[in-house]
Amino acid sequence: MGILVTPKTKLICQGLGKAGSFHSSKCVEYGTDFVGAVKPGAGGTSFTLENQKSYPYFNTVKEAVVQAGANTSMIFVPAPSAADAMMEAASAGIQLIICITEGISILEMAKVKRFIKDKDCCLIGPNCPGVITPGIGKVGIMPGYIHKPGNVGVISRSGTLTYETVWQLTQLGIGQSTCVGIGGDPIIGMSFIDILQRFQMDTLTKAVVMIGEIGGDMEEQTASFIQKGGFDKPMVAFVAGQTAPPGKRMGHAGAIIQQGSGTAQNKMDILRRAGVHVVVSPADIGKTMVHVLQEHDLQPRR
């Protein structure tokens, strides 16, 4: 149940500052099994969250894995040290690493990607809202109340458009299986294809909404993946940045059209040719998914 966050998730926080504490509390409130935080030098002491429950500090991520069975880390460590935090988590045996931190340099992320290449872990982010399995647990900053358990997966490069999409679906009675914000930086962990492979194997997920944006070629690669038979479930997609001028970064560090490539129109055309239901406006995502589910005789709930 859930392609990344499951009832077996045991969460720690790296970077338990003001934001880390607040969002750790919200993860606990949603039902995630939170087992502590990493703070070098504070191992053996404890802290409390908004629920007034006491949780342990660990000196290292490895201590959290050994002593508390941690298998997931949520990272709020400031950008200059965030790459080291991700690599420490991967080295310690953390299976799911979700980095919320933004502003990490491309060079540092290149080092992280190379480091985790042969590690048995999944990285979501950086600069992302995280992952939620509605009704089960969440890791990140997504508002839990807008979600509803169901069978439509959501995957997005944009945090705010993820929330807008989920709210539309929920208001229309369409529940979600897992929602993943993969991040908008030029170099990130898991890609659209990585997540779609998991949605393909997930019997609960019957259809998917994908939110792309200008820059890079992730959407083009996804279209090729679909055309080659890698993903055969119904999909609705929206590509942000349709009015963006070439050479100007729009919002995310990776959202930039360079040398005529990575345009929204090109991505939309290629996805349509792959059989994806592409919408021009984000306001049409929910109602388009209603039609898609009806067309395929699929129920919107579990």
Active site residue 252: yes
Give Cα separations from 263 to 26, 98, 112, 199, 236 (angstroms).
37, 28, 28, 26, 18
Residues 23, 252, 277, 296: which is the catalytic one? 252
Tell whether the torsion through CA atoms of 157, 274, 278 and 242 is positive or negative.
Answer: positive
Structure tokens at 138: 């969440």
Residues contacting 68, CB < 8 A, separation 6+: 10, 12, 35, 36, 56, 58
What is the rounded CA–CA span in Å between residue 114 and residue 117? 5
Confirm if 152 and 277 have CB atoms less than 8 A apart.
no
Structure tokens at 234: 């119904």
Residue from 143, 138, 137 nearest 160 by CA:
143
Active site residues: 252
